[in-house]
Structures are given as C-alpha cells and as structure tokens.
Amino acid sequence: MIREVAERIDFSFVREEVADKYGARGNVGIDPEVILKLMFLLFWDDVRSERELMRILAERLDYLWFIGYGLDDGIPDHSVLSKARARWGAEVFESMFLRSVGQCVEAGLVSSELLHMDGSLIEANASKDSVLKSDPEMIERLRGVYGSQEAKLEGCKSDSGKRKLVNSTLISPTDPDAPCVRKKTGGESKPRYKAHRAVDDAHGVVTATMTSPGDGEENAKMLGLVHEHAANVGTLPESAVADSQYGTAENYRDLTALGVETHMSPHAGRKRHRKVFGAERFEYDAAGDSYICPQGERLYPRSPDKIRMSIEYAVRKGTCQECPLRPECTNAKTGRTVQRRWGQDLIDEGIKESSTKNAKRSRDRRKWRMEGSFAQSANLHGFKRSRWRRLWRQRIQDHIICAIENIKILISKSGKRSNEGLGASFGRFSRTLPRNTPVERAYRLRGFIWALSCGY
Ligand code: SF4
C-alpha cells in the first residue's frame, strides 16, 4: 500500500510551508519532504521509536524508495525528526490533516449527513511512578516552572499553567501537561490525554480532531468539532450523533439553533436520581411567562442565575403544603421549583429530536463507525499511547494518525478514477471554508444575542 501512497499523495507541500523556518545560510539540511515522510512512516507501520525507524531504514527498500533515497545515501540521524517538530510546530501537521480531509471531500467521500463524535483517552508517555502529590499551590508553581523550562529549552510555548486542573494535587514532572485521570470503567489514575474526533458516516473520514488534557470534558468539545467539520468540509452536518455524555442542554440548544439535528442520547444526569416529576410535566405559558403545574397552580419567575444561564420558577409560598401530589412532586419545604434555561424551546426541540427512530438508528450506526475508527487507529497506528511528551506534540501525533486514516480511505474507496488528481491536488488544497466563516460569524452573533438576553 505504501506504493499507492507514494503514487497518489504529494508530500512536497511541506517545503513551501516550512520555508520561512530555515535560514538562508549554513549547512544544507535534510529535505523537509523526507522528514515528513519519515514521520508518516513512524505511524503508518507503528514503528516502535524514531531510533528504530532509522535503524531499519537501510534494510527496508520500500521505505528508501518511498523517501526517495538510494542504497548509497546516508541515513539521517534520528534527532532530525525531533528538531523538525520543534522548528515547524504543530501547524504543518494540522495542515497535512486538513489536506487529507480536502482530498476526501474532492473525491466525494464525505456526505455530511451524519457526523459521529466521541473522545478517547490516550496514555501519556510518563510513568504513573513519576507522579508527585502535593498541595494545589505547590503543584501550580511546579507547572509554571516546568512550562518556562521547556520554553527555554525548546524555544516554543508550553500549554502548562494556562488552565485549571480537575485534579490539582497531582503532577507528573515527566509530562506536566497530562493530568492524572481514570478511565470511565475505573482502574488506576494515570497521566493521560484525550483525543476528540468527528467522523463522517459515509465512509468513516475523520473530518475534525481536537486534543485536550485527559480531564477535558467531552461534551464541551462538541460544538467545536461541528464547527471544525463545517470549516474543513464546507457545510454543516445534517445530524450530530454522540453518546449520552454529549446530551447536555448547551449542546441541544446550540446545535438546534444551527439547524443540526441532535441525535445524542439525553445526558445520564437527566434521568438519574429523579424521584419527583420531571419538568416536562409542567406546561410553560409563554404569554404569562409562568409554568402551570399538574394541579393547575402557577410557578412564577425569580431572579435569573447568570452562572447557570437559567431562571428559576417557583410557586407562591404555601401553595404546595396541602397538595395531594406533593410526595411525587417535591421534597422542598418551600415548594416546587422548575429551572428554565435560556433557549429552552431549542433545548426541548433538541431533546425531542434525540428520541426519534432516526436518532436511535444513528446511534446504532455510531457504535461501529466511531468505535471502528478509534479501534483501527489503536490497533494499527499506536493511537492509544503517546509517542512524545507535552500537549502540542500529542496534537501532532493525533493529526498524523487522522491524516493516515483519511489517506487509507482515499486509496481504498476512490479507485483509479482520480489517480492523477489526488496526487496533484494534495499539495494545493486549502480549507474549503476559511476559519472566519458565515457559520462561525452566525454562531458568534447568536451567542452575543443570547448573552444580551441573559442580561450580561
Ligand atoms: S406540589 Fe405544588 S407544584 Fe407540585 S403539583 Fe402540587 S401544587 Fe403543583
């Protein structure tokens, strides 16, 4: 298959992209195209390490042919790869991923009907024995020190210290960007990252990817992934499919407002611990801005909660005292309350959509389409283990692996019809929709209007 990659994918775009990272004087370095191809091979065959790749390179005629080296050419030192990463930054690899998406779009492999989303934990390249435990202030200081040390050593910015940790008493000095988290199924708490992916249903093309520290909330990435998909593919998906973690009020509201059908399961928190009537038993009277309870009593708005972006509706004092439905309706001494979020109509519409037959069918498809994408990356390309340290390097890893997934689909599904076009266009693709898109602007404007209506 490496022959097909060489014939149909043009890696030469990288020369132009990194031209400004090299000086005009000094020794002639290794060709950036060769370096990119070597990093591609590292994940393509899940070679154990960069040293191992350089060790076997001279014996692998297919690898030599792929990178354009002859039998007598000297093998580069493994350190050229780490130096190139530090010099180029993560953008070049993101560009490689975007080009792979663009080619899949051009080849008609992306339908944008169903977009599956999920996140997966990745074990950081740091032993759990390296983890230090201390008070939050000390951990915060250590993160700052490690961040500035790295910036000095590698001449690039660190992500450390910019965000609040969920577990603020643990840190791994080996990789301070990777917080200690447990899997959902339990087990040990270890330094981990999280990869978030959006996969198009038609052929499994990865259309958007994000990488976060392991404690990053998956549901908070959903809108970002949809937006990235729209920017990379040129159109919003018709439906967004995800598990119950993504079924939050914010996601239902925002996606419905964008006109995207919400095929997520409702969040587990909505069903759990429910010992009283749900809010759906209360009818909202828009004209009177009040709720009517099953007993016909009215609940009136109190002052808004700006943090939760909601308004609490409550009955008048003493109304619930003698009500026969009280045991099923409320445990509160002061009577029943109902929360109404801003954009509640959109949230209700989104929840209604998520319980349709179509939504259930989409969730069934998600099980094999989404999980299949992660499983293939894990089994063939070393996706579940960080090869390098720090968040920005993990982003590089995820972009390379996602690009490989797309290139494989491109080769296997597009046949010979676009044989020439693919190779030729790989280097020319630019995002179909630039970042400052109408979708993005509409989304920002809508958020602004909401914020105004919330009284911010
Ligand atoms: S307990 Fe109060 S809010 Fe609930 S049904 Fe009775 S009167 Fe209505």
24-83 pLDDT, tens per residue?
777 768 899 999 999 999 999 999 999 999 999 999 999 999 999 998 889 999 999 999
Cα–Cα distances (Å) from 199 to 11, 80, 86, 120, in that order, read: 24, 33, 29, 13
Q: Is 320 in the pocket of ligand 1 (CB under 6 A)?
A: yes
- Ligand 1 nearest atom to the CA of residue 326, by list position: 1
Q: Is the pTM of this model over 0.95?
A: no
- Residue ID of nearest Cα to ligand 1 atom 1: 326
The whole-number average pLDDT for the span 121-136 is 81
- Ligand 1 nearest atom to the CA of residue 325, by list position: 6
Q: What pLDDT is stored for residue 215 in this prediction? A: 86
Q: Is 319 in the pocket of ligand 1 (CB under 6 A)?
A: yes
- pLDDT higher at 268 or 232: 232
- pLDDT higher at 433 or 43: 43
Alpha carbon distance 172, 191 (integer Å): 7
Q: If you average pLDDT over every residue of the chain, what do you get?
A: 84
Q: What pLDDT is stored for residue 397 in this prediction? A: 96
Q: Probe ligand 1: pick from 283, 300, 322, 325, max atoms within 8 Å of CB?
A: 325
Alpha carbon distance 425, 26 (integer Å): 33
Ligand 1 centroid–CA 29 distance in Å is 77
Q: What pLDDT is stored for residue 433 in this prediction? A: 39
The whole-number average pLDDT for the span 155-175 is 63
Name the pairing type of β-strands 298-305 and 310-315.
antiparallel
Q: Is 330 in the pocket of ligand 1 (CB under 6 A)?
A: yes
Q: What is the DSSP string of 189-226?
A: EEEEEEEEEEEETTT--EEEEEEEETT--SGGGHHHHH
Q: Is 115 in the pocket of ligand 1 (CB under 6 A)?
A: no
Ligand 1 centroid–CA 336 distance in Å is 6
- Ligand 1 nearest atom to the CA of residue 293, by list position: 8
Ligand 1 centroid–CA 343 distance in Å is 25
Helix axes 32-44, 79-88, angle to 10 degrees: 110
